[in-house]
């Protein structure tokens, strides 16, 4: 009796803490959401800025459209390699000196590349902003690409790629994209492979920077404690000397191939990693928000999703199972995955396919839809509880061309989704969708592939 009372009180306390967290996040977000300013510098560089003096911190996230899709066909990994090199010395500063200057002022400067973007971030105490922006300016405009650093970073990338060959999730993902997008940039590994990375030369790094890092394909979001006019000056100092226009190679719109196929990659491990996917809905599609709500109910809602309930809770087949909508610039995808014992992999996959088919045929219940909308609207503000999160979200909104008022509109869009909307999205997304399935491990023999 006493234990039951304690457990009940713990549940109440947990609920109160969650409500307090949501309330605090809501207040922090509301305080910032209404102050998003579109700024255009004298050099014509546009950025979105939120002035926030709560803490003496400045967070900037930026991206150049293009990313790994601009890698030459025989040099996959060039964008990733370039990103890893930009803080390895610039101007008169060699790699060691450059890193020491970052460390001395606790400046966080990083670069990365994915399929569609080449990204950077800068976080610094406001009092050290001048030095931080100077190091950023050097890295973008005067990278050294010293041979010693090239050899060291190449060895690191190759070693990481070799280790990934024993990571079943990474193997499955690489095989899925290679099978889905043959002869397309999306089918090439973002981090490259042994042959492509080994063939990257110093002049290729300079060429990538010159062609891809330009003002025309640049998006910037800044949040923090800084005067607007000073920010404009620092941004122009850092970015205005970049080429005016990027020389991007065209990338074709594409849909995944090999749907309905199941491939097994043999790896001597006790569990089988499974990745499945098919065509999805692009972010600009009017049905994206209904599809987003639908996916939350199916496999995006973690503990509340149908896949979690059927695969883990009822049958104990896996620790986690998920699905999500991947919105690439030139393709919309529906993707998911799980990991389970080899002897139960076929059963887990069968349950996943059954739940996808059931959702396509019946759609969600009214209760599921109401719960999904409540969660998606209530949790959205948690994406804005730090300056870094706000900057990241503002950058993503720019990249997706959603409009500067999207944060105010987003929950209204979710709440407006009807049962009819979700059922329409379910038929578009799931009804005729054959899955490309990649299984890594030693699963028990599989049944005939879905759809043939």
Q: Are 118 and 145 in contact (CB under 8 A)?
A: no
What are the residues facing 38 on neighbouring strands? 48
Domain that holds residue 117: 37-239
| Structural domain includes residue 311 | yes
| Structural domain includes residue 286 | yes
The packing angle between helices 147-164 and 78-85, to 10°, is 130
- Which residues, in sequence order, are CB contacts of 84 under 8 Å at separation 6+? 111, 153, 156, 157
Same domain, 394 and 271: yes
| Structural domain includes residue 80 | yes
Same domain, 308 and 216: no
Q: Which residue has the tokens 């690439």?
A: 328
Helices (H), 94-240: 95-104, 129-141, 147-164, 168-180, 194-198, 202-212, 228-239
Same domain, 282 and 374: yes
The whole-number pLDDT of residue 431 equals: 86
The Cα–Cα gap between 411 and 380 comes to 8
CATH number at residue 117: 3.30.830.10
Q: Are 181 and 254 in contact (CB under 8 A)?
A: yes
| Structural domain includes residue 82 | yes
Same domain, 227 and 281: no
The whole-number pLDDT of residue 22 equals: 42
Same domain, 45 and 150: yes
Same domain, 71 and 182: yes
The whole-number pLDDT of residue 447 equals: 54
| Structural domain includes residue 206 | yes
| Structural domain includes residue 272 | yes
Overall number of domains in the chain: 2
The Cα–Cα gap between 341 and 291 comes to 31
Same domain, 228 and 274: no
| Structural domain includes residue 5 | no
| Structural domain includes residue 209 | yes
pTM exceeds 0.85 for this model: yes
Same domain, 162 and 216: yes
The whole-number pLDDT of residue 303 equals: 84
Helix (H, G, I), strand (E, B) or coil at 407: helix
> What are the per-10-residue average pLDDT scores of the chain (452 residues)?
37 38 45 78 98 96 98 98 98 98 98 98 98 98 98 98 97 98 98 98 98 98 97 98 98 97 96 97 97 97 89 94 97 97 96 96 95 96 93 98 97 97 96 92 72 38
> What is the DSSP track for 276-292?
EEEE---TTSTTHHHHH
The Cα–Cα gap between 380 and 376 comes to 6
> What is the DSSP track for 213-276?
--STTEEEEEEES--HHHHHHHHHHHHTTS-SS--PPP-------STT-EEEEE---SEEEEEE
CA dihedral 286, 290, 295, 300 (to 10 degrees): 100
Same domain, 225 and 292: no
224, 239, 254: which is the final residue of a domain?
239
């Amino acid at each position: 009796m006493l234990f039951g009372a304690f457990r009940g009180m713990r549940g109440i306390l947990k609920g109160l803490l969650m409500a307090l967290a949501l309330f605090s996040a809501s207040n922090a977000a509301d305080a910032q959401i209404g102050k998003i300013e579109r700024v255009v510098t004298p050099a014509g560089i546009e950025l979105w800025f939120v002035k926030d003096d709560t803490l003496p911190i400045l967070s900037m996230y930026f991206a150049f459209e293009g990313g790994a899709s601009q890698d030459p066909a025989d040099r996959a990994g060039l964008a990733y390699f370039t990103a890893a090199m930009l803080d390895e010395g610039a101007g008169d500063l060699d790699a060691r000196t450059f890193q020491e200057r970052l460390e001395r002022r606790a400046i966080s400067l990083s670069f990365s590349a994915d399929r569609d973007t080449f990204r950077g971030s800068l976080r610094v105490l406001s009092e050290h902003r001048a030095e931080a922006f100077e190091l950023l300016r050097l890295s973008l405009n005067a990278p050294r690409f010293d041979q010693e650093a090239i050899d060291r970073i190449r060895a690191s990338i190759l070693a990481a790629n070799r280790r990934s060959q024993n990571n079943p999730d990474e193997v499955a993902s690489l095989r899925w994209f290679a099978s889905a997008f043959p002869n397309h940039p999306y089918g090439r590994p973002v981090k490259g492979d042994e042959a492509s990375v080994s063939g990257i030369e110093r002049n290729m790094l300079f060429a990538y920077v010159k062609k891809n890092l330009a003002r025309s394909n640049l998006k910037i979001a800044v949040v923090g404690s800084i005067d607007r006019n000073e920010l404009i000056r620092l941004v122009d100092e850092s970015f205005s000397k970049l080429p005016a226009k990027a020389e991007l190679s065209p990338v074709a719109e594409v849909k995944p191939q090999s749907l309905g196929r199941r491939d097994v990659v043999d790896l001597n491990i006790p569990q089988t990693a499974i990745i499945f996917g098919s065509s999805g809905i692009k972010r600009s599609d009017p049905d994206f928000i209904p599809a987003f709500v639908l996916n939350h109910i199916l496999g995006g809602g973690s503990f509340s999703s149908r896949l979690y309930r059927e695969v883990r809770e009822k049958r104990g087949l896996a620790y986690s199972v998920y699905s999500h909508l991947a919105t690439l610039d030139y393709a919309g995808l529906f993707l998911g995955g799980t990991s389970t014992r080899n002897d139960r992999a076929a059963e887990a996959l069968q349950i996943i396919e059954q739940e996808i088919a059931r959702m396509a045929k019946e759609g969600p219940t009214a209760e599921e839809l109401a719960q999904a909308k409540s969660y998606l609207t209530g949790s959205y503000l948690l994406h804005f509880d730090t300056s870094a999160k706000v900057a990241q979200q503002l950058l993503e909104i720019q990249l997706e061309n959603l409009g500067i008022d999207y944060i105010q509109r987003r929950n209204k869009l979710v709440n407006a989704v009807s049962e009819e909307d979700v059922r329409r999205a379910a038929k578009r997304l799931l009804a005729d969708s054959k899955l490309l399935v990649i299984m890594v491990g030693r699963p028990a023999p599989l049944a005939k592939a879905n759809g043939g």
